[in-house]
Amino acid sequence: MIHDDEQVGRLLSRREALEILGAAGAALLTVAAGPRAALGSRSSRGPASPCIVRPEQTEGPYFVDEGLDRSDIRSDPAHGRVVAGVPLALTMAVSRLNDGACEPLEGARVDLWQCDAMGIYSDVRDPGFDTVGQKFLRGSQTTDASGEAHFITIYPGWYRGRTVHIHFKIRTDPLAQQGYAFTSQLYFDDELTDRVHALEPYHARGKRTTRNPDDGIYRRDGDQLLVAPVAADEGYAATFAIGLQMP
């Protein structure tokens, strides 16, 4: 049974958020604070200023710490076959909030994991599938001096009970037992998803059953986690900027 809807963290009060952001961030409180402070923009063309509050969301049942360092996560390293789907070039632009300003966070590890066009995750055992040993659509990258981690993936498919999404985790020290970690999910505009899912191989899966407003996890400030892909080559490209309030 999928438990994607398990709550992570707690909601910040207005006063707590003000204490975190300071006077310079007061105007940002027109958007709802998520369970933990995270800042970023929604632009597909790069970071915007000022940063806005981002929510942390549930890790879900399918995270596997593969330690698979690669930018193109579409293939299974066991045999090299690439999963079918519309290509998506995704850049995660990670910053750290420091004295009211966002500074690029270098050296953080960003993990991505998602389902394929048929709604299946790799390397897990589920009542509907068993993909243990496969590693498609999983991988991690370390942020560079600009705070960026670059991935090539596919536009995600769907499975029952969830809207279309990609999971991500950002860690400053993945090998430490106690280190900073931020976990959340990325979402897509429903109209764009309709257009993509009208194509093969997505079309063979049939009409999805859950859209953004119907997803209980998305309703927890998922509108602050929307990516805005633009057409690029034979697929799409997007940048998601996020700044982290770290200890």
| Structural domains present in the chain | 14-244 (2.60.130.10)
pLDDT tens, residue by residue, 63-86? 999 999 999 999 999 899 999 999
pLDDT tens, residue by residue, 28-41? 222 233 344 454 43
pLDDT tens, residue by residue, 121-170? 999 999 989 999 999 999 999 999 999 999 999 999 999 999 999 999 99
**Residue 239 near residue 47, CB atoms below 8 Å:** yes
- The residue among 97, 106, 175 whose CA lies nearest residue 141 is 106
User: What values do phi and psi take at 153, rounded to 5?
Assistant: -140, -160
- How many whole angstroms separate alpha carbon 102 and alpha carbon 82? 36
What percent of the chain shows pLDDT beyond 90?
67
pLDDT tens, residue by residue, 98-111? 777 788 999 999 99
**Residue 143 near residue 110, CB atoms below 8 Å:** yes
- How many whole angstroms separate alpha carbon 130 and alpha carbon 123? 8
What 8-state DSSP symbol labels residue 26? G
Q: For strand 235-244 and strand 87-98, is the pairing parallel, antiparallel, or unpaired?
A: parallel
Q: Return the ∠ at Cα 24 (arms to 20 and 147), rounded to 5°.
A: 70
Contacts of residue 175, Cβ cutoff 8 Å, sequence gap at least 6 = none
Q: What is the pTM of this model?
A: 0.81
Per-residue model confidence (pLDDT) at position 53: 56
